[in-house]
Amino acid sequence: MDDPIDIVEMEQQIAKFDIQDKITISEHEKQVIITKAYKDSLYTFYKTLFQRQMVQDFMNEEKVPVVPTDLNMRQYVEKAISNQSIKPPYILITVNAYPDLDFEQLKKKVEKFVNRRFVSAFIYAYEVRKEDLTGLHCHMLIHYNCKPHDVKRNAKSTFKDCCNVKDDRILNFKFVNPDNLQSKIEYVKGVKKDAKMKAMDYTHKFQAEHILQPYYESTPQLPCRGAEEIANAD
C-alpha cells in the first residue's frame, strides 16, 4: 500500500522550488534578456527599412546601391521613416503595359485614372523603349488629395488588365517632394538622362504613328513654381 501523501511536505517542496526558480533568473537577468530582445527587434526593423529604401532608390535609377556602413544606414533609415510618415502630395506612377496589350486599351484606362476625383492636377505621356516601338509604358505625375494608400489601391484596380499590378517594377509608384517637382515634370515631358534620350527617338515615332501629343496635362497645370507653398496649403 502506498504511503499517504504528506501535504505539508509537498507545500514545502513547492515553495522551495518557487524560491529556487526566482533565484535562478534574477530581475537583472530578466532585464538583460528583455533589452537584448528589444535591440534585436529594432535591428531587424531598421534593417528592413534600410533594404527597402535602398532597393527603391536603385529601381528609380537615382542612386546606386551603397555599402551599408553605419552612416549611410542611418541616412537611409531616416529617409525611409520620413517617407512612411508623411507622403508628399505628388506621385509619379509608371505603368509598364503587357507586350501584347492594345494601345487603345491602355489609353482608355489612363484617361479614366487621371480624371478620378482625387486627382486635382496631372501631366502624363506615352513612351516606348525599343526601336521596334515595343516596351510601351506611361508616366503619370499627379497631385492627389486623398490618402496615399487609396491612390495605389485605385491604380492597381484601374490597370489590373493592362499590366502586372502585383510587381512594383511594373506598376511603379514614386512619391515626389515639391522641391523635385519641376525635374519630374520635365522628365514626363521627355527630358531624360543621356542614357535614355536615344529611346525618345523611338517614342516620338510611336507618338506620331498614333497621333499623340508629346504629353498631356490638366487645367490647372501642375505647379512649377511655389509648389512647396501650395503643397503645405493643401
211-224: pLDDT as tens digits: 999 999 998 888 74
**End-of-domain residue from the set 61, 85, 109:** 85
What is the predicted pLDDT for the residue at 76? 61
188, 119 Cβ separation under 8 angstroms: no
Q: Contact 159/172 with Cβ under 8 angstroms?
A: no
Alpha carbons 144 and 150: distance in angstroms, whole number: 10
* pTM for this prediction: 0.60
pLDDT at 62 over 70: no
Rg (CA), the chain: 28
- Note the pLDDT tens digit of each residue in 16-59: 655 554 556 566 766 777 777 766 776 676 667 666 666 666 55
Does any domain span residue 5?
no
Range of the domain at 161: 90-233
One domain for residues 61 and 97? no
Cell readout for 206 is 510611336
Each residue's pLDDT tens digit, 128-186:
999 999 999 999 999 998 888 899 999 999 999 999 999 999 999 999 988 889 999 99
β-pair type (90-96, 171-176):
antiparallel
Of the three residues 60, 85, 110, the one that is the final residue of a domain is 85
Picking from 139, 111, 112, the residue whose alpha carbon sits closest to that of residue 125 is: 139
* Domain limit, last residue, from 64, 85, 106: 85
Q: Are 18 and 122 in a shared domain?
A: no
Cis-peptide into 4, omega within 30 deg: no
Integer Cα distance of 81 and 68 in angstroms: 17
Q: Is 4 a domain residue?
A: no
Q: pLDDT tens, 71-120? A: 666 666 666 655 555 678 899 999 999 999 999 999 999 999 999 999 99
Determine the Cα–Cα distance for residues 211 and 71; give it in Å rounded to an integer: 50
